[in-house]
Amino acid sequence: QTVVTQEPSLTVSPGGTVTLTCASSTGAVTSGYYPNWFQQKPGQAPRALIYSTTNKHSWTPARFSGSLLGGKAALTLSGVQPEDEADYYCLLYYGGAQLWVFGGGTKLTVL
Amino acid sequence: EVQLVESGGGLVQPGGSLRLSCAASGFSFSSYWMTWVRQAPGKGLEWVGDIKQDGSEKKYVDSVKGRFTISRDNAKNSLYLQMNSLRAEDTAVYYCVGGGGHDYWGRGTLVTVSS
């Protein structure tokens, strides 16, 4: 069974920088996994932030960026704002089985 | 404005069936794979399955294979999820998702499987 692992929780100070990561139990994450990132605030539907590793949607704030880092997909928030406090989920594509798998999510606290 | 509106959720007994619908507007529905994602109460997101633009390919997470069926009607800009043999662990909010980068999400519809 394929498992996608994220940090359960992270804390960052306002104005700071934080990197969330997304690892695959099958090995290094590459661009071929088409990493997606989503933000979800309490009581709301998820909102798409990043697709295909680095690509931003038109509504994605500039302070969010996606990359590959040390064999994982990564989401970096630079100049964190209080409104960035939320749960963040990554999503990876497994081409062999043609399936997508979400990570368990990271709860980001801005404190 | 892009809108995805799910409907059809509710309370159903274990072993029962339910059909969810998703009405799409504001984007080229027929141009994209469409996806169902669910979220159990207090838990994370789970990819349920998706369907190709013309409905010719469908993929499912193992836990729903043989029980759930995804379909679409491009003439009606609508996506469907037929859920049979429902179990307590299928209790979740079900989201309809569309767009090339999983761009667009509905608000979800709650399915509760309980006796």
pLDDT digits (tens, 9 = 90+) for A27-43: 999 999 999 999 999 99
| Percent of chain B with pLDDT strictly greater than 90 | 97
- pLDDT tens-digit series, residues B14-67: 999 999 999 999 999 999 999 999 999 999 999 999 999 999 999 999 999 999
Nearest to A77 by CA among A85, A93, A59, A104: A85
Sign of the C-alpha dihedral, residues A64, A19, A106, B39?
positive
Q: Do A76 and A94 contact (CB within 8 A), yes or no? A: no
Q: List the single residue in B with minimal CA-CA distance to A59.
A: B103
pLDDT-based confidence at A84, cuts 50/70/90?
very high
Nearest to A58 by CA among B27, B77, B48, B79: B27
Nearest to B109 by CA among B27, B33, B36, B25: B36
Find all residues with CB under 8 Å of A38, minimum gap 6, and list them. Answer: A46, A47, A48, A49, A88, A89, A90, A91, B45, B102
| Contacts A36 to B, Cβ<8 Å | 101-102
Residues 84-103 of B with CB under 8 A from A: 95, 99-103
B100 pLDDT exceeds 90?
no
Indicate the residue of A45, A87, A98 with minimum beta-carbon distance to B108. A45
Q: List the single residue in B with minimal CA-CA distance to A93.
A: B47
Q: What is the pLDDT of residue A86?
A: 98
Indicate the residue of A40, A51, A104 with minimum beta-carbon distance to B101. A51
**A104/chain B closest Cα distance in angstroms:** 6
A100 pLDDT exceeds 90?
yes
Q: List the single residue in A with minimal CA-CA distance to B57.
A: A98
DSSP A57: P
Say how far apart CA B49 and CA B68 lie, in whole Å: 9
Q: What is the pLDDT of residue B46?
A: 98
Q: Which of the pair, B5 or B101, is modelled with greater confidence?
A: B5
Mean pLDDT of chain A: 97
Place of tokens 């594509």: A93
Q: What is the pLDDT of residue B37?
A: 98
**A49/chain B closest Cα distance in angstroms:** 8
